[in-house]
Structure 1
Amino acid sequence: MDNWDRDLDYIIQEMIDTVKNSKDEVFNISEESRKEHERINKELEELKQKVSLTIEEGDQLEKKAKAARKKLSVVSKNFSVYSEETIREAYDNAHKVQSDFVVKRDQEKALRERRDELELRLKSLEKMVERAEGLMGKVSIVLNYLSEDFRHISDLLQDAQEKQAFGLRIIEAQEEERRKLSREMHDGPAQMLANILLRSEIVERTYRKGDTDCAMKEMKSVRSLIRSSLQEVRRIIYDLRPMALDDLGLIPTIKKYIDTLEEQHSNIHFQYRSMDDRLPSQYEVALFRLIQESIQNAIKHAKAERIDVKLEITDKKVLALVNDDGVGFDRENKKDNSFGIIGMHERIDMLGGDLRIKSDIGKGTKVFIIIPIKT
């Protein structure tokens, strides 16, 4: 058994080192892509100005070419009136202006193609930066599991078969959590930051045109976007590890978490009865995650109009209930290999508790949590 433990610890350490190196590589890719994005964006702005100037010069040459052809037509029809030198000059001038016009239009075409190429490259880099940011978040989740949760759980498991089975479930859970965090980062901060970048460019162009009132209006809009982005980042950080849990305890943290969900769901009601003493850290972390997961399921999947959260803490046990009036589901057909259900069952099992989920289609869902307090 000791050999199994040593082998598993060695594997975990190797995975941690590999993931850390991957995180550094992803960060470097992200930074290089961001710098390349800035360079191309600057080049694109300069190129757009050249395109505008070339179009204007081409239009002027087109007018001159029309005038030269008109003069040449007049001279050709009345060649007996004009001298040979005058006719030659009219022909040469018409040919030169026409040639200059064709060259200018070719330059315009080449500049347009280069502009389109840069715009496509810019979009590609934006997507690359977004993917890199998503990967950074997922890598952080992996490191957290490997360096903390996985090591702690490994110490609790008693034999190799349990370790193998649990390891497979953790890997499945990790993949689902990575996808979840990636979606949150892509749909939240990444999109907001991209929008802020575009809006800031609008502010710059507006200010250069001298329209300060419009520029100030856009600046207010940009500040609003920055505040929203900061709020979204804080929410994601809070989901990963709420600092209030260590400082204030379980009940204040649940209250604060429900407050952060105001925009997602404004009809969440929390009731509690509790002794004055704090619970051990492992109980508070587990209970918060269980209640958090239950609330998120009710918001995202149940389409509930009302969510009730009840918590009772005594010196013997903890009772929790999360009840929603959503669409419900058929327990017989529900897949039990999702991250939420695996994580909830594993946390409950580690603490020797009981998890019961009651749900019927069209009648909402009730999640019952019972955890004994071992002193």
Structure 2
Amino acid sequence: MTKPLRIIVSCVVGVATFLTLLLLGMSIVQVTHTHDWFFTFLQMQILFMPMVLFLLLLAFSSGVVFFFILGYCQRMVLKPIEQPLQNLAAGKYDFKITKPSIDYQPMHGIQEDIQMIRDKLQMVSKELQLSNAQPKLFNGQTKEQILTEERHRLARELHDSVSQELFAAMMLLSAMNEQARKKQVEENQQKQLTMITDIITTAQSEMRALLLHLRPVNLEGKSLKTGIEQLLIELQSKVTIQIRWQIADLHLPTIIEDQLFRVVQELLSNTLRHAKAQELEVYLNEVNQQIQLRFIDDGIGFDISKEKAGSYGLTNIRERIQGVGGTVKIISFNNQGTSVEIKVPIFKEGNVSDDSSAISR
């Protein structure tokens, strides 16, 4: 029952109480005072106030009390299913359904339905992870092998051609800047040289981000902790962003480790190319049978309601995480940074508890 409906019901109860008390009081006065009973009733006082006003306050109080009692009973009835529904929405499946405080028979059926939905969602997530763990062959190669070879080829070509040319251009431009300072060229020319330097510097940053994006998809035998930390250490030595991280040493199925590692690469690439951040925080840990990955930067942020929020990078991240039964939550505001929280359920033998006995008791 919604709050407006509870208010309406409480008002009806208050009006009914007032009319009942009014009729009861008038009937008593009519029996005891045969003549002029109506005027006698109007002149009667209780606690130094007219009888009608006292009955009105009493009816109003009864309506308020009924409103809070109704709300309390509703919370007691709905409380046992509120938290399970929130857990399901967040992708958490390892929870128990408690017995309601108030014995309301229809609620038992709802709890059984929630348990059935929980078990089915857990089964679907398990099957999804197992399905994605099976290699899919295209002309004798898996999709990841084809993508890896193409990424290696593009990375080599970019590094050997564009990246080297940008480096050479920066060296030449540095020499030109030095000569310009010695010869004291005009201010307009000096500003143009500075502008060109900024453009090449931005292009080099974009190139680093692209090369990072084209790194190998898998961990190549390393643990997830080692792979992410090496990636962050290498990145810290090449860019000016201050990076803080806390990576737990987790042992996960290969498909989940590879997907999380690739997502970390995607997030780092997006941060370098778009965020213009000065600080970046990366956290990976296990919480309540879930892998939790958090990325927080202090960059320019973006409006997630606009089409740009559905860019290829973020869309690819969502697809990868959904492929292992996980969820992605993105919070971002203009000029206030971005926070990305990723949760992936971990399934272990016997982690689904049978709550049917607890519900029926």
TM-score range, shorter chain: 0.3 to 0.5
Greater helix fraction, Structure 1 or Structure 2: 1
Taking structure 2 as the reference length, the TM-score comes to 0.40
Bigger relative contact order, structure 1 or 2, given CA contacts below 8 A and separation 6+?
2
